[in-house]
Amino acid sequence: MKELVTVIIPILERQIDPTEEKMLHHALDILAEYPIIFIAGEGADLSVVREHAENIDVVHFPKHFFQSRQHLGRLFLMSDFYDRFNWCDFLLVHELNSWVVKDELYYWCKQGYDYFKTGPALAHAGSAPGILKRISGLSEEEKRLYGSGYADNGLYLCRIERMTATLKSKKKLAHEYRHNANLPYADSLFWELEANRFLPHLRTPTDIVRSHFAQYGVQYQNGTTLPFALTGISHNNIGEISFFKTLPETE
């Protein structure tokens, strides 16, 4: 019988900063009842991770995928990546710029969707392309602008079988996104713009539903309903995020 969900935490080649270490410690704590697997480049130094959890499970991939977030996005556009974890139904990919607020992971896996990720943070709320524009296709410049809104948006929940099937059915297009060095966060762009273009391959939630799944930390306002997770967190903005001002010092 398959596992329902496994948590995947990528570790890039560069050194983890104190904010990322805080995200790591919290993820290991709040998601402790689920299988947690770290993915890293071959020969990666994981000593900082082992300070928080001595016995960790690690799956290694070629080192070049972990040189930067841009390189990691290429890995997330390969069906082989998802196939490595086909012993479970779902993956929660949890980069170290996200914070699970409350353990609702089982609940979200059972909602009947294939892909959850909060939308991009755009400079203008009305600048997201409409359905007709999505069908006709965005220009390269429009893709770059849209992709930039996914900076530090490092949390998504996906059904492995459907991700693999989508990548195989759109193999040529996925290859183009993987190898286009001019597209920021090409993986997020592909899933947002291409997966359901013309024909639906993934069951995705409405904007309202996915706002309950995850929100950008800087956009969260005290007094509103907390989502499952906050994302877009870095050492540059964590001091400005109201949620973290309410946490005990031990967090």
pLDDT digits (tens, 9 = 90+) for 175-184: 999 999 999 9
Between 1 and 173, whose confidence is greater? 173
Q: How far is CA 130 from CA 72, 136, 137, 193, in A?
A: 28, 10, 10, 11
The answer on pLDDT for 168 being more than 70 is: yes
pTM higher than the cut 0.85: yes
Q: Which domains does the chain have, with CATH numbers?
A: 3-245 (3.90.550)
Residue 251: what pLDDT? 55
Three-class SS of the chain: CCEEEEEEEECCCCCCCHHHHHHHHHHHHHCCCCCEEEEEECCCCCHHHHHHCCCCEEEEECHHHHCCHHHHHHHCCCHHHHHCCCCEEEEEEECCCCEECCCCHHHHHCCCCCEECCCCCCCCHHHCCCHHHHHHCCCHHHHHHHHHCCCCCCEEEEEHHHHHHHHHHCHHHHHHHHCCCCCCCHHHHHHHHHCCCCCCCCCCCCHHHHHHHEEEHHHCCCCCCCCCEEECCCCCCHHHCHHHHCCCCCC
pLDDT digits (tens, 9 = 90+) for 14-53: 889 999 999 999 999 999 999 999 999 999 999 999 999 9
Q: Among 63-72, 159-168, 197-206, which is the least confidently predicted range?
A: 197-206
pLDDT digits (tens, 9 = 90+) for 51-109: 999 899 999 999 999 999 999 999 999 999 999 999 999 999 999 999 999 999 999 99
